[in-house]
Amino acid sequence: MVKFHTKKVEDLLKLGIAIMILCLLNILGQKFYDRIDLTEENRFSVSPATKSLLSNLQEDVYIEIYLDGDIPSGFKRLQNSILENLKIFNEYAGNKIKYKFIDPSSINQSAKARNAYYQSIANKGIQPTNVFSNDNGNKVEKLIFPGALISYNGEETSVNFLKGNKSTSPEEQLNQSVENVEYELAKAILNISQKERNKIVYLTGNGEAIGKEATGLIDIIKENYELEITNLKNKEIPSDAKAIVLAKPSEKFSDEEIYKIDQYIAHGGNALMLIDPIKINIDSVRNGQAIVFPYDLGLDNLLIKFGIRLNNNLVQDLNSGVYPIVTGMRGNVPQIQMLPWPFYPIANKYAKHPITRNLDAVFSQFASSIDTLKTKGSSRIPLISSSQTSKTIIAPLDISLNTLRKNATPQSFNEGSQALAYLVEGKINSLYKNRFLPEFADKTTFKAESEKSKIIITADANIGLNQINGKTGEPYELGYDPFLKNTFANADFIQNSLAYLTESNGVISSRNKEVKIRPLDKTKIHSEKAFWQTLNLVLPLILLGIFGTAKYLIRKQKYSK
């Protein structure tokens, strides 16, 4: 008779119980899944807003990433970051993210066909970039496309991953691009998958920009939001508007129009206000000189309630754009030279905020400075500022192109950085709080303060407007300066601002992600290279010999008895 409580049966029972526990843990793990990110900066985690977005997807998302093949190591790191994020996205989306990496240069076609293929990718909004590498000592140039095409339910949009501040090193710019991968992907998926879009109201009636110079601003709103244009003179601001946009008003607001804006804010509304404090006719400046004066828009008291004062001055910055001027004649042909124009500050100093994090430089024209006032319940953050080598001049004043002929003296640009854009956030008091209401006011709906509002104010409306081609009359791309032939990050600033205003704890919070660069000490690598190579080669052999000898001696001693 076999005894049940034998050692063998006991071991089998333990094994069976262990297998059952493992199976149970596996089942529970599938039903109750979570990730543990042990990295210091939570590199392998996504924001709660991104998780919510992905878990609510109704259809599959198809993503084609045009970053593959033989690419430099920095872009390989960007590629790996994209892959890591897509894997994480898939876990929260229930495997609804279908993706593939494509090497555009690998197509086996003629040069003409390949170039046509490249052009088709660029036409979809994916911006190419040139990179250089060494091939057997030869410098080789290659065109790569660090972007992706995203499709959802028949809709399509593009993503460009190469972002960041171009004033930093290439390594740092690529690291900033890595930090932005989650946001760029989540933003694109949100825009293409959301059924109901937030409404943004574009205010008119007071000489606001509404023509070709507002093309870029209007296009950004149309692409991501529901746009409604409202004339303040005869309409109320819709209560369901997530934000209002006020772009370059040039005519004075009536008390009733100011009241409409005031009460929209007091009821929890948000606003992007692109305001020019100073009236400038650039055509008059081109023709020689112009006397510029402050606008009388009637908004000063309202802005003071926000804790903001737009100064009647112009900021000059040594870090600036250029302007063409005739410097001489060669025969009958004028010689034109691009000279620094301090009235066009190139702003590259930002607050540590999701709106401006990793943002490239912003181009401004005839910007004024902003001061702040203390108000209870709200905070103010200087989103954009000029460089330390800045100064201000008070209006009214003469502006002449002749100043370009004079060499700027750096010693005079000594007033330090000047704030050009502010974010106001929190409880904001109504202009009419503790005051008699005007006759036209509806006393039943009046509110004395907002619970929480967000307002972004720039002291240069041109930050959000297109420059116009003087020859064709058509607008340039938003942020493009024809004299420097460079596109600045103005459009990104507008997009981020509107996203922050319209989202409550939205995907823009993922722009706070930080990925630290931990570079190796290049000096030590060079000086100690031979030592570490030798150590890595010899040490394993020595350890193997030691353990082998020890095992041999132990076995010899054990079996010799």
For the chain, domain boundaries? 48-193, 199-509
Q: What does the pLDDT read at residue 519?
A: 54
Q: How far apart are CA 346 and CA 349, in angstroms?
A: 9
Q: What angle do CA 501, 503, 505 make, to 5 degrees?
A: 120
Q: What percent of the chain has pLDDT over 90?
A: 51
Under 8 Å CB-to-CB from 313, ≥6 apart: which residues?
277, 278, 368, 369, 392, 393, 394, 395
Q: How far apart are CA 253 and CA 236, in angstroms?
A: 14
Q: How far apart are CA 246 and CA 229, in angstroms?
A: 11
122/5: higher pLDDT:
122
Q: Which of 161-170, 256-265, 332-341, 510-519 is the least confident region? A: 510-519
Q: What is the dihedral of CA 118, 120, 121, 125, to 10 degrees?
A: 130
Under 8 Å CB-to-CB from 62, ≥6 apart: which residues?
98, 99, 150, 151, 152
- Bridge pairing between strands 138-144 and 129-135: antiparallel
CB 151 within 8 A of CB 61: yes
CA-based nearest residue to 88, from 127, 62, 122, 54:
54
Tell me the average pLDDT across 325-352.
86
Q: How far apart are CA 399 and CA 286, in angstroms?
A: 10
Highest mean pLDDT among 35-44, 108-117, 146-155: 146-155
Q: What percent of the chain has pLDDT over 70?
A: 91
The pLDDT tens digits for 77-101 are: 999 999 999 999 999 989 999 999 9
- Tokens for 253, please give them: 């607001």
Confidence of residue 555 (pLDDT cuts 50, 70, 90): confident
What phi and psi, each to the nearest 5 degrees, are found at residue 531? -60, -50
Is 199-509 the same fold as 48-193?
no
Length of the chain: 561
Check residue 148 and report its DSSP letter.
E
Q: Helix or strand or coil: residue 356?
A: coil
Q: What does the pLDDT read at residue 43?
A: 58
**Second CATH level (architecture) for the domain 199-509:** 3-Layer(aba) Sandwich (3.40)
Q: What angle do CA 340, 473, 492 make, to 5 degrees?
A: 60
Residue 140 has pLDDT above 90, yes or no: no
488/143: higher pLDDT:
488
Q: How far apart are CA 25 and CA 231, in angstroms?
A: 62
Under 8 Å CB-to-CB from 395, ≥6 apart: which residues?
278, 292, 293, 294, 312, 313, 314
Q: How far apart are CA 372 and CA 309, in angstroms?
A: 6
Cis ω before 396 (30° cut-off from 0): yes
Q: Mean of the per-residue pLDDT values for the chain?
A: 87
- Bridge pairing between strands 243-247 and 199-204: parallel
Check residue 468 and report its DSSP letter.
B
CATH no., domain 48-193:
3.40.30
- CA distances (Å), 531 to each of 523, 525, 534, 537, 538, in order? 14, 10, 5, 10, 10
Full-model pTM: 0.81
Distance of CA 77 to the CA centre of its chain: 20
Q: What does the pLDDT read at residue 38?
A: 46
101/513: higher pLDDT:
101
The pLDDT tens digits for 381-404 are: 999 999 999 999 998 888 887 777
- Tokens for 364, please give them: 């401004």
Query: Residue 339: beta bridge partners?
Result: 323
Under 8 Å CB-to-CB from 498, ≥6 apart: which residues?
200, 220, 221, 224, 225, 243, 245, 272
- Tokens for 166, please give them: 């171009």
Q: Which of 380-389, 477-486, 524-533 is the least confident region? A: 524-533
Q: What does the pLDDT read at residue 407?
A: 72
* HSE (side-chain half, CA atoms, 13 Å) at 398: 6
120/245: higher pLDDT:
245
Residue 226 has pLDDT above 50, yes or no: yes
CB 327 within 8 A of CB 316: no
353/524: higher pLDDT:
353
Residue 426 has pLDDT above 90, yes or no: yes
Confidence of residue 42 (pLDDT cuts 50, 70, 90): low
Q: What does the pLDDT read at residue 1?
A: 47
Residue 248 falls in which region: left (phi positive, over 0), alpha (psi -120 to 50) or beta: left
Residue 68 has pLDDT above 70, yes or no: yes
Tell me the average pLDDT across 268-274.
97
* HSE (side-chain half, CA atoms, 13 Å) at 169: 5
The pLDDT tens digits for 274-300 are: 999 999 877 777 776 778 899 999 999
Q: How far apart are CA 202 and CA 246, in angstroms?
A: 6
Q: What does the pLDDT read at residue 517?
A: 54
Residue 455 has pLDDT above 50, yes or no: yes
Q: How far apart are CA 138 and CA 60, in angstroms?
A: 44
- Amino acid, single-letter form, for residue 505: N
The pLDDT tens digits for 7-27 are: 777 777 888 888 889 888 877
